[in-house]
Amino acid sequence: MNAEAKIKKTVPMTVAFIAVKGPFSLINTAFGNLFTFIADNGFIPAGPPSRIYFNVPGQVPEQELKWELRVPIAGVCDSSGPDERGLGFRCLEEITVASTIHRGPFCNIGDTYNKLTSWITSNGYQIAGPCEEVYLTEPGNTPLAELMTEVRFPVSKK
């Protein structure tokens, strides 16, 4: 964890999403499909993309991993999906999260998760939903040491 953890509220937003079941190596293809879906529906990305993890590597086989990519979009649409390709739109409400910034390559992000979950417990909170990574910098255009990822968990007071 490179920055202090904090409790904050997320901003309500509309996102386009793709639900994925399988290894994380599918991320580039999934993002490609998601951005094509956004463009094909006449929307414009309006913020950094994120990934939600619904289960944990090592606890389920790689082919059973369930995760979702999300991209905030400008404009309003009705919630729909996922369709047969896993694509859809969703309105997200404000939630309370514990958050910190991970700086550096993704291969070191596990330490940030461990520190954040410890911080959550020691500060009187409990995890109340799946973890999320918000990609604040673009991996293809950013040196590994300068990557910035917000790691956050929905939380509630114990």
- Domain edges within the chain: 6-157
73-105 burial string, b = 16+ CB within 10 Å, else e? Answer: beeebeeebeeeebbbbbeeeebbbbbbbbbbe
27/139 Cα distance (integer angstroms): 12
Would you say residue 56 has pLDDT above 90? no
Any bridge partners for residue 96, and if so which? 9
- Fold (topology level) of 6-157: Multidrug-efflux Transporter 1 Regulator Bmrr; Chain A (3.20.80)
Would you say residue 3 has pLDDT above 70? no
Would you say residue 2 has pLDDT above 80? no
* Interval 58-110: pLDDT, tens: 899 999 999 999 999 997 778 888 999 999 999 999 999 999 999 999 889 99
Question: Which alpha helices (DSSP H) does 21-146 contain, by range?
Answer: 27-40, 109-122
Query: Which residues, including other chains, have CB under 8 Å from residue 129's CB and lie 6 or more apart?
Result: 95, 153, 154
pTM above 0.85, yes or no: yes
Are 66 and 57 within 8 A, CB to CB? no
Residue closest to 18 by CA, chosen among 95, 90, 91, 97:
90
Q: What is the mean pLDDT of the chain?
A: 94
